[in-house]
């Protein structure tokens, strides 16, 4: 497995969410969020994925693009979800839900096709009393793969289900 691209970002997670999306596709994010997707902290469209966060502030995110599925290293993570999305335009971006144009480093190229995304979350309960500061962290791993179901690979301790 080879890592083709890695980016470390801080993304403004207004309304406790940010998005990975194809730049040329405008999906209705509001329809993604249901009771089930809020509980899972992941909402999936065709060419967009919404990632829920523990804070309504800037959050640290690391995005890596791989040539194949990365190793399943779930030990340190509190929650791990996996889903599929499609790339149509070849240009992707990570963006907060109320941001205008994303920073240049939040854009990257992916060949058109179907991909898998694994989102790993940690520090979800490590927040200050006012909820503004925290140790929450989000890792996004992308690789080419057939379109498949959305699944939770590791559930949070004490999660309903």
CATH number of the CATH domain containing 102: 2.60.34.30
Residue 159 belongs to some domain of the structure? no
**What pTM was estimated for this model as a whole?**
0.91
Residue 58 belongs to some domain of the structure? yes
Is 104 or 132 the better-scoring residue by pLDDT? 132
Give the range of the structural domain holding residue 59, as residue numbers without chain letter: 3-154
Residue 161 belongs to some domain of the structure? no
139's tokens: 């890792």
pLDDT (tens digit per residue) in 89-119: 999 999 887 776 666 558 899 999 999 999 9
Domain count, the chain: 1
Residue 9 belongs to some domain of the structure? yes
């Amino acid at each position: 497995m080879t890592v083709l691209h890695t980016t470390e970002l801080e993304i403004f997670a207004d309304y406790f969410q940010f998005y990975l999306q194809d730049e040329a596709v405008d999906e209705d994010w509001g329809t993604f969020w249901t009771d089930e997707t809020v509980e899972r902290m992941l909402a999936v469209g065709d060419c967009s994925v919404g990632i829920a966060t523990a804070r309504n502030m800037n959050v640290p995110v690391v995005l890596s693009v791989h040539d194949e599925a990365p190793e399943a290293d779930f030990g340190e993570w509190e929650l791990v979800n996996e889903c599929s999305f499609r790339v149509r335009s070849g240009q992707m971006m990570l963006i907060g839900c109320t941001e205008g144009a994303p920073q240049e480093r939040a854009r990257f190229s992916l060949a058109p096709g179907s991909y898998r995304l694994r989102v790993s979350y940690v520090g979800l309960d490590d927040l200050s009393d006012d909820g503004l500061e925290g140790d929450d962290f989000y890792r996004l791993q992308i690789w080419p793969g057939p379109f498949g179901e959305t699944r939770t690979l590791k559930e949070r301790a004490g999660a309903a289900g």
